[in-house]
Structure 1
């Protein structure tokens, strides 16, 4: 009786366990397994370059693959053992993680590297045993055949565990391995088909590199994060490697009268739910429209240009005014020089392609379409270069305006060459020289403003779009105000107080005109928004500088030459710098405003004769003053 009860209890326990197992299996089936992202070509190229193939040392790379496989198999417990036979791991269900995928990649790479090493030894005639009776050639083919079998296993695993893009990546890699195998086997027709298939797939994969934006893609394979530019370069290198192999196959097919069909629609297209095939990395935004890069060879140059400008945005934060003012001129120039150089290189390449198309014997319809796309691309690159240079120059203007906004500068300006009151102003001058670490001249700002005005004129001459014209109008107005202020300080240092006062009054009248700086300019690269940020900061400082300068020069005009008025002026200098408190008793000589409405227009600039060379040519560039006959040769 007891034994019967025990057997019944065992049966019940067994049934409960079976129910739990079936429920667990059903639950595991309902849970969606996360897909693996496998950038196969980037992983393979990274391993090759780091372990000997940078110098074409295939033996070193083969040994590295063997050592790495031993470590991975030990960690994953996939060793076959020597004491007794254990079957090899050939089922796709046994490969589930990133490390399992890396095991398959290393197995294929080891077979391919060993076969290529044998081929290099055959071509160099270093091993006579391999040359005898074609033993070396068959040995090489056997190694490559093993790599092809392992690539089939990798393809099955990828279909079960990887994303759609990774499946296409494995398919392109498999076609490349098969193409090399058929090439060494002298099967030219199949070799041409497989290599053409791999070429088309890699050309598609190069357009979709959005997966490389996240660092987690490489961390699973113990690889440091690579930039998009490096990844695109890897795809370009693989495409360049296959070009001579495809030509060789086509040559032998033509020699043997073998027809190779055109490879077209058999390639599996990349289907991703998150991003389209043509990602933003090979597109550019110009005149409120998005365009594709017309020529594939220019894509990497565009990516380099965009990446270099992203580096600028990361290193120079325009919102942090304290750090912006502390930046040295050399540092600003170095930050922007690489981007400007990249844009110039891209523009030169576009010009070369435009010249090539115009000379080539292509059909008129195709050449006209491609040339129109190149014209749009060239306009985008030229505007990119001009606006980046404007952004750099606006940083210099911002730093100069803030420099001349210090009260120490105004104190030094007020008491310059005042022999009668030298003793009284000595203490103030010492304080000002300590606080002003470097001496800056206002005519620097005049020259920078002239350069910006010249750049704006170039933009206006080539662009008729409404939003660019509105931006250049705002820029011209702000730069004209800055130039007038810098020129007023030039006159102030020359003790031409009335001219300096009239210029400050002119700037104050211009500041009353309201400008819409909150308008949103469509720009994917972020250049326009950064320029607007700089303009807002400059406008705030310009209004403050104009008020202070107006008070300073107006006070200097109204001060009498008696000691009492001088004492009152010295004692009330801080009030003068802060707010408008003085009502002048003696107004300056009235001058027609139209004389000052044409950008400092008919006011003679500061005396720069000491900066003129012996032959009479000036060593500075000034657009606004070049027509006034300043730089004529002196008798």
Structure 2
């Protein structure tokens, strides 16, 4: 069943498929083949390279078209294939059946192509699917010859059929036939691009750009040596898109043939043979990458070239590790155990590849740093571009320093003091840049003392690195880093004095505002007269001086009169007038009073 995410697309398709056989037949109809398949591919998986999802979509669409046309292929229990004839073309949807059948077979072939790298047997299945796609494309081309189809439909069907055939010949290494078919398709799409509106011109022109690398690769295999340079130029101009990966694959396939002449390499005075094919291809690509970097127009293209180079380096290292599985010294080295003596040639080659990966990563990160420096605070930034923080550059310099520190630990470099001196000098120089951007972070936070200390450390590391660069040979190899350090020292001297002045101004401001702290006490002023704090509400229209109306308090009641002499008056004694009791007479009187209650007075 189709997913919920495709329900809207299915309803739109079905709305155009709800016609009846009694509807009037047009004199001619148009099927925009390229636009139809491109929209389907972008909406159903190929935007992310998911060929299986697109293949499933093609199956569902074929089933829906057959159902709407009342053109089934048998019943529930039996399949009865029906061939579409020219006389049956009463609806343009009949042409979509062979079109999406060809697309389904082609998508299956592309899915198998990505899996054939690990399972070679799937290549046979791949070729059979491409042949099936060619059959459906030929059927589409034959149906388009009907007078009911207009000229544009005929040209598009011819171009699509030629492109599918070219893909089959390309996979089977039939270079001349592939070049002929691709050239035919390219010519038709160029003519259509010049005859249609601007919106459609972009679509057809992108198709031409997809076909051009295949034509140049076929020309190279036929014998045109200049074709490899054309592929490299296409790679430089492509930037980062789906065409880039395709060009990388074509270039790697081209270099596989050239790599047969690369049999050994020399590094740090030792020559070792190169026996593994993927390592040869990578080393050949490394030699040509310097020319590509010089021809690159911007930093983004250079970073893209470095990314492709690092990816190939990782693949070459993995292939070499697989070949070193039986080398006990290599296994001990990977576990961190110390080794003695001279290592094998393949082990030394692995150290060389690791050295290349680390150095190329450093060069890639330096390009990223140069790009990020353009968007630091205080510089003119592009609209919508995120401003770079100094912490971002500090992180990149940390990675660079870590990569350089890993180089002296490589096996086989125990007797290379010149390399150790070079690495130490470069690490010191990059530490100066790291200290500089850490100081920038503290300066932005107005921590002037810490910033000044880091600026001083920057100057110390920079001077030490500059003296070290003078001892290296050849000196011109690191002229860019030396120039950057000299410029850094000039900038730091000015910034350090600026921070010193700012710290003095901060001290004066602190002295002037000593004790003037913002008040968080909400009590009225009359209740906090012993505590001084800045209260801006006192100068406003409603100062908080006292609470009004005042709170209620308990007080004694008001007396009716005041007798001030009452406490000083001596009253006469009244003891004589007071009644006195007589004491009882002996035990007899006590018993009498107890038994009979006594007498009353």
Normalised TM-score (structure 1): 0.30
Q: Which structure has the larger Rg?
A: 2
Q: Which has the higher contact order (CA 8 A, sep 6+)?
A: 1
The two structures have a TM-score, normalised by structure 2, of 0.32
